[in-house]
Amino acid sequence: MAMAFPRGDGPPPAECRIRGHGQVGLRPADRGKATRRSLGGTRRRRGEAARGTKDASWRETLGDLDSSFESGGVRTREEATTSGKLCVLRDDSSHPTPYESAWEEQKRLVSSKCLQLERGQVLTQDLLLVQHEAVYTLGAGSTTDHLLFDEEDPPLPLFRTERGGEVTYHGPGQLVLYPVMDLRSFEQDLHWYMRTLEEVVIRTLGALGLEGERVEGLTGVWVEGKKVAAIGVRAKRWITYHGLALNVTTDLSPFENIVPCGIQDRGVTSVYDLLAGAKGGEKGLDKDALLKDVATELLNSFEELFGVEYCLVD
């Protein structure tokens, strides 16, 4: 199924709705309801397990939040737009979609933003949240030495992309976040940008009671020595694309056909396996509920760390 992204350049579409801070991850059926899930008792309050994050109490229910942007005491639509912090959110993570669709959409958005820059227009930001159909991708400078199969006869579709980094796998159960943003509205520093993406994952994991960590000299996030999130980005005129991939309920077996991210001595893991392990090996978690809950946490962490105001596109 192709991604049904809105087309067109310029300002956000008329149907784009500003939401209250912290309520961005709610699916249409969940909005206005008390939807905090226990995930079998594994969740903790935000900040308890996330080292270095602010000590803030996690809301008891998402439904308690005011859904009105203006009454939330934050920026108006006009202020968010002129500050460059209005972010059009396209959440297509409810089902796997082809890698090429999201890739082409990112390139279209980058081209559109470059054109807007030439016209002297203030840019809005864009954020795509997806799952992918199973695929392997290579970075711009990746070696094929990390493919444990014949490049001419891959077990899954194989793409060489513009992003940094080595080979990785994308597939169902993995949440992929693609920010297409003008770093001039944030920090013109790709190192800062990648570290902030790592912190998005670390805070997300912390909200689930898991302690994510960085490894010196490497990009990504690890838990218990295994990689749970990969990051590979590209920027054109300070406009970013590509992004981060977090294994949630991912089937990890396709990683056995590659050396993930070119790192020989470290394995991969998923949020599902980590939570199941924390419960003594029990794997009775609801995978669909877990995926939705992690998507909510991921979007909220991104919103907090980058200081954006989401504009939702149905």
Residues 27, 30: Cα–Cα separation, whole Å: 5
Considering only CA atoms, which of 170, 169, 216 is closest in space to residue 195?
216
Catalytic residue among 16, 87, 114, 261: 261
Residue whose pair of structure tokens reads 């190192």 in the numeric block: 191
Comparing CA positions, the residue from 168, 163, 159, 158 lying closest to residue 140 is: 163
- Any catalytic annotation for residue 261? yes
| CA nearest neighbour of 231 among 197, 203, 255, 266 | 197
Cα-Cα end-to-end distance for the chain: 17
| CA gap 245, 254 in Å, rounded | 15
Neighbouring-strand partners of residue 181: none
- Choose among 162, 161, 93: nearest CA to 132: 93
The catalytic residues are 261
